[in-house]
Chains A and B, each alone.
Chain A
């Protein structure tokens, strides 16, 4: 019988005690693993936020956002100025268009000559062009109310808007982009088909949102028209929101050509190399572009609360993981010390018949690892069931504070004002908090179990070393 076999046998010598020890260990190990899973999930989310939105600055024309406001448009030349600002790693220009059916376009232009006016009536940065696509969103109460108030408040007082207004049809947002990102700087989630390739050159390929594609029976390879020009659907994207999916992306050059405003931008998405440099980059960018020409807004500001809250959850879960790990180690230490004391005479016998100290020590360490292995199996099962709930409980308790502190003037953001992009950088921080999914991946569980075994070895070494102090004369005690 080998040392290992003897250790396994010893671990089951007292089955009731073994079951009790394994149960206690399983709870500690399960908690440790659940906390590790939560920690990894939250850490991943924080990294994702930092990498995608947390370091993004948005530049709009001074006095304008989306299709609202006024002032002078941004130009392609300003992207070079922005790119030269320290710590800026990329600058992506966008050009927003408003797509309307021919019927809706003629209704909205009755009494006016300009095509620049949107349904809100303001001069804005958006340009209305016709399309054969039907919007995926019904106007409903909000759309009709906004259309009416827009007509009244923004000076679009043509005869067509007095008397009985025709049923309003929501426009579709088309955005020309200089890279495969949305207006929040987040990579587009293309669910079928492909991207547009080179986003800087004019192209008749387009990306269509999922709901818009469904509404118009489009799929990759289908065609539709914008301003009488035929476009081919290269891919379908999912922006994650109903509004965001009622949209079309073209290349930046193509959108500028459709709007007949070459070199003009609606906004710029500026990515900074790290969150730590965002504040400095924002100031430098504002200075470089000029306060009278551009408004630089900081998506990170609103996400600070979310990231801070997630960091808090991450820290709590890390501390809880270490505490649970330490508890498991302490349990092993105490159990093994008890077993060593209980088996003093037996250890004396083994020494009397020639066992080396290291053989006996190894036997006790292996016995501890057998108990830990059993505890880990049960603990991993507990963690796989409980980690999601524990992570949610931790996050929800923190997100309530975060959500409260997020409410403010910028809370609605321009996610609802006209540009697609998953809610925009100013909105949905509380959604980000609750969108953390803690699943017990085999890799994380394996890493956690490895840590548990490491702690168990340390916990078992102390009692194993104690066996070296037991003298073989113990064998004669009681004789």
Chain B
């Protein structure tokens, strides 16, 4: 279970103080598929970075399975990101001189998994996101944007994280592949009890999530709580 308690992140810009996240609180049960919608610059990515321990909040706390992130040292936060979090970044953030399969293997290498096991799992994950087998050994810069996005999703799933934070996961995919990715995320949350929080402009994706939040001027409001619509519906 993830509890977000009165989370604030503020920056100084000259004389002004900007609060892209201003007193955000919510809870997500394990296995929930949730989405955050909002205009560009509304603080969605900042909120994701706070949840994923990429950044530290000015105040407030994120509690994951009873463990407060605010009290964790840097080494433990690294371990948290490695073990409990899977990121899908808006701009993929893959390592350009590595192959697709090597990129997916990276988090597993950092987690200490043996090479044979991580190679097998990486290939399996790339198949799940429908990346052609012959493209799995290609360098990232030889893949299209959609293919890179699928590699990024596969990398986020590498260590079977508790929480997947996805920033526009279907933004660079065609409709059919996007549908498949939504189905994949949905089945992960349902079958593997993985909590997934998606930031998206894709209304169809947002509608398929159980809980939908809107972030506006740093404030979070919940729009919908409803049973999940089956993927492809």
Contact = CB atoms under 8 A, between A and B. Distances in A.
Interface stretch (B79-87, B174-182, B214-222): B79-87
A205 interface: no
A351 B159 CA distance: 15
Given A349-B89, A352-B81, A471-B55, 9 more contacts: A1-B102, A350-B95, A353-B107, A353-B155, A354-B82, A354-B111, A355-B78, A475-B54, A476-B45
Contacts of B68: none
Interface stretch (A6-14, A52-60, A137-145, A369-377): A6-14
Given A353-B110, A354-B83, A356-B78, A479 B95 contact: no
Nearest to A10: B97
A352 B54 contact: yes
A473 interface: yes
B34 to A, nearest CB: 20
B164 to A, nearest CB: 12
Interface string B47-70: 001001111000000000000000
Contacts of B167: 479
A429 to B, nearest CB: 60
Contact of A479 (B55, B91, B106): B91
B110 A354 contact: yes
A125 B19 CA distance: 107
A346 B110 CA distance: 15
Contacts of B184: none
Interface in B87-114: 87, 89-91, 93-95, 97-98, 102, 105-107, 109-111
A353 B54 contact: no
Contact of A13 (B49, B89, B97, B115): B97
B124 to A, nearest CB: 17
B49 A478 contact: no
Contacts of A471: 54-55
Interface of B: 45, 49, 52-55, 75, 78-79, 81-83, 87, 89-91, 93-95, 97-98, 102, 105-107, 109-111, 115, 155, 159, 167
A6 B98 contact: yes
Nearest to A468: B74
Contact of A349 (B45, B93, B109): B93
Given A475-B54, A479-B90, A354 B97 contact: no
A353 B154 CA distance: 12
Contacts of A345: 93
A240 B155 CA distance: 75
A359 interface: yes
Contacts of A356: 75, 78, 110
Counting contact residues on chain A (CB < 8 A from B), the size range is 20 to 34
Given A354-B79, A359-B110, A479-B90, A9 B97 contact: yes
Contacts of A352: 52, 54, 81, 87, 93
A90 to B, nearest CB: 67
Given A359-B110, A475-B89, A354 B45 contact: no
A241 to B, nearest CB: 65
A473 B49 CA distance: 7
A472 interface: yes
Which among B90, B91, B93, B159 has the greatest number of chain A C-beta atoms within 10 A?
B93
A280 B57 CA distance: 80
Contacts of A6: 98
A412 to B, nearest CB: 72
A9 B105 CA distance: 16
Contacts of A10: 97
Which among A6, A353, A357, A471 has the greatest number of chain B C-beta atoms within 10 A?
A353
Nearest to A359: B110
Interface string A197-217: 000000000000000000000
A341 to B, nearest CB: 17
B54 A355 contact: no
9 contacts: A1-B105, A2-B109, A345-B93, A349-B95, A351-B78, A353-B106, A475-B54, A476-B49, A476-B54
